[in-house]
Amino acid sequence: MTETAEKPKKPKRPQQVFTLLVEVGRHKDDGLPDGSTGAALMCYASGVDEAEAVRETVAILKQADLAPLDVTGYGTLEERLEMGHDISEEERDLMARALAENSVIVAQMTPFFEDGKNG
């Protein structure tokens, strides 16, 4: 008779919220303004680590017919505070919402235009 060895349970890592800046290009039906060449999206995304938050964000943006090109991570709220970032109450509320909903929140969208002027 063989005993089935139970796998040791990994401690569940807590979800955190990461601030991500995602550059997107154009894609059919992306909803970006006419004449824009792409956009920058400020996102708050939950994940157990930044890599997971980036993967989830890219997947959701692709589902929304956006074309993610580049993602820059700015870390968690605590990491941003350590770097001296000034974080408004509105930003903190959005981060709390992303954590509570285990979601990705697009907080701001700035379109890019060929002439160098942004929306």
Residue 13 reports pLDDT greater than 90:
no
pLDDT-derived band at 113, boundaries 50, 70, 90: very high
Could you tell me if 72 and 45 are in contact, meaning their C-beta atoms sit under 8 angstroms apart? no
Reduced to 3 states, what is the DSSP secondary structure of residue 73?
A: strand
Distance CA 46, CA 23 (A): 19
> What are the two backbone dihedrals, phi and then psi, of residue 3, each rounded to the nearest 5 degrees?
-95, 135
**pLDDT value of position 12:** 80
In the chain, what are the domain boundaries?
16-113
Give the model confidence (pLDDT) of 58-105 as tens digits: 999 999 999 999 999 999 999 999 999 999 999 999 999 999 999 999
Q: What is the mean pLDDT of the chain?
A: 91
